[in-house]
Amino acid sequence: MRLDHPDDRGRFGDYGGAFAPETLMPALKELEEAFVAAWADDAFHAELDALLEHYVGRPTPVYHAGRLSEELGIDLYLKREDLAHTGAHKINNTVAQGLLTKRMGKNRVIAETGAGQHGVATATACALFGLDCVVYMGEKDIERQALNVYRMRLLGTEVIPVTTGTGTLKDAVSAALRDWVASVETTHYIIGSVVGPHPFPWMVREFQKVIGEELRSQLDGSPHAPTPDVIVAPVGGGSNAMGIFYSYAGDDGVRLVGVEAAGLGIATGKHGASLGEGSPGVLHGSMTYMLQDDHGQVLEAHSISAGLDYPGVGPEHAHFKDDGLVEYFSVTDDDAVAAFHRLSRTEGIIPALESAHGLAWIIANAEHLEGSVVVLNLSGRGDKDVQQVAALHD
């Protein structure tokens, strides 16, 4: 069953909730109240809608990929989130949370980032609203993602290296949480996916569900584009997938497919398939499927695609999995890279490696999908991944 709201403990069925330090509970409560009030306020929607149209570039087009459709024997449509400002769906969420930050009377934003994509989207929203912005990033990630670090600095954001632990995303999350505990009166923490403690998974889903709502109205209005049989999206934390799935979830005619990272292959243990291979546990403030060992220790994820390299997933996806509303599969690094090349050559669109995972699933299953109308959420553009893919062939 699709739940419009999590229950009063912030749960989607068995998943979600708010597993956070006592000191953060008032901030989470304040955020929930501010979000509920803003979301019921026409003035907030009017301001957000205007920004989504004129700044972000919504609605993003739905494009019929003609050449690839012919090759695959299906009718393939791409929802072009890659054409949104900054090149991915992440901006839908950061602009909305930036607007909410202003409404709460706070002037400072913090965020954490792994590959830097969420950091750039947050830095962009903060420049737009004139908010002070601090992004925590593991020192190893800072080295690996020099271009995104410079982008954030260009946008006026302070990037703080985190040297504890392994110097990667999970250490940056801890640093951001420590900052928030100390600064919560003036500071909002912008989480970048449908993860974290309540109200984040719900709020971020509400900010991303515009993708699926647009798709519905774009397809309904066109005689050439019938109702989709299948909608496919990559799943890292799960925000672009939740965004395109949500308005279709529970609609019996439409099959929803989420694609996780199988990395080097499920059998190698080096993957990011939290729903496919993980089990329920508490990660980053909520109960969800996660990769963990027999003692409940978080396992490291692996994916060629930074956005899918996460050992957990949003709690509403866990609920959707158990309820059978969405099917989840996984795709290896190699198959994603092959799909990256294929879309580039057949359609002149270089996809993000994350989005290429969704396409790889479609390619692998094309025979069974023959004649179907298939929509891929093209969550982002691949410019950020070109160097990485080029290096594979050296």
Among positions 97, 101, 148, 239, the unique one binding ligand PLP when judged by CB under 6 A = 239
- Binding piece for ligand PLP, criterion CB under 6 A, among 247-255, 288-296, 321-329, 351-359: 351-359
The rounded distance, in Å, linking the Cα atoms of 124 and 152 is 8
187 in Cβ contact with 110 (< 8 Å): yes
Lookup: tokens for 16:
């979600």
Query: Closest CB to ligand PLP among 88 and 363?
Result: 88
Among positions 167, 197, 212, 238, the unique one binding ligand PLP when judged by CB under 6 A = 238
142 in Cβ contact with 152 (< 8 Å): no
Site string for ligand PLP, 43-82 (x = CB under 6 A): ----------------------------------------
Strand order in the sheet with 230-234: 62-64, 75-80, 373-378, 230-234, 255-263, 327-332
From 239, 303, 355, 379, the catalytic residue: 379
Active site residue 112: yes
155-176: burial string, b at 16+ Cβ within 10 Å, e else: bebebbbbeeeebbbbbbbbbb
90 binds ligand PLP (CB under 6 A): yes
Residue with smallest beta-carbon separation from ligand PLP: 380
Query: Closest CB to ligand PLP among 15 and 184?
Result: 15
Among positions 88, 100, 275, 326, the unique one binding ligand PLP when judged by CB under 6 A = 88
Strand runs labelled E in the chain: 11-12, 15-16, 62-64, 75-80, 108-113, 132-138, 158-162, 187-189, 230-234, 255-263, 279-283, 286-290, 327-332, 373-378
Shortest approach of ligand PLP to residue 338 CB, angstroms?
Answer: 18
Shortest approach of ligand PLP to residue 314 CB, angstroms?
Answer: 7
From 79, 90, 170, 384, the catalytic residue: 90
Identity of residue 311: P
385 binds ligand PLP (CB under 6 A): no
Query: Closest CB to ligand PLP among 184 and 259?
Result: 259
Q: CA neighbours within 13 Å on the CB side: how many for 59?
A: 16
Query: Closest CB to ligand PLP among 197 and 238?
Result: 238
Among positions 240, 274, 303, 330, the unique one binding ligand PLP when judged by CB under 6 A = 240
- List CB contacts of 258: < 8 A, sequence separation 6 or more: 232, 233, 234, 235, 238, 241, 245, 275, 317, 326, 327, 328, 329
- Please state, as a whole number, how many other Cβ atoms lie within 10 Å of the Cβ of residue 284: 23
Query: Closest CB to ligand PLP among 167 and 312?
Result: 312
Residue 73 DSSP label:
T
Among positions 236, 278, 285, 315, the unique one binding ligand PLP when judged by CB under 6 A = 236
Task: Name the phi and psi angles at 294, rounded to 5.
Answer: -65, -20
Residue 269 DSSP label:
T
Site string for ligand PLP, 321-340 (x = CB under 6 A): --------------------
The rounded distance, in Å, linking the Cα atoms of 388 and 393 is 9
Shortest approach of ligand PLP to residue 39 CB, angstroms?
Answer: 20
Run of H or E including 68: helix 66-72
Shortest approach of ligand PLP to residue 295 CB, angstroms?
Answer: 27
Among positions 352, 363, 366, 375, the unique one binding ligand PLP when judged by CB under 6 A = 352
Active site residue 274: no
Active site residue 270: no
Query: Closest CB to ligand PLP among 30 and 213?
Result: 213
Distances in Å between the Cα of 393 and the Cα atoms of 146, 237, 262 are 22, 29, 21
Among positions 141, 179, 335, 354, the unique one binding ligand PLP when judged by CB under 6 A = 354
Residue for token pair 């330090």: 21
> According to CB under 6 A, which residues from 92 to 151 bind ligand PLP?
117
Residue 298 DSSP label:
B
- Binding piece for ligand PLP, criterion CB under 6 A, among 130-138, 270-278, 279-287, 347-355: 347-355
> Which residues are known to be catalytic?
90, 112, 379
Task: Summarize as ranges the residues that interact with ligand PLP (CB under 6 A).
Answer: 88, 90, 117, 193, 234-241, 307, 352, 354-355, 379-380
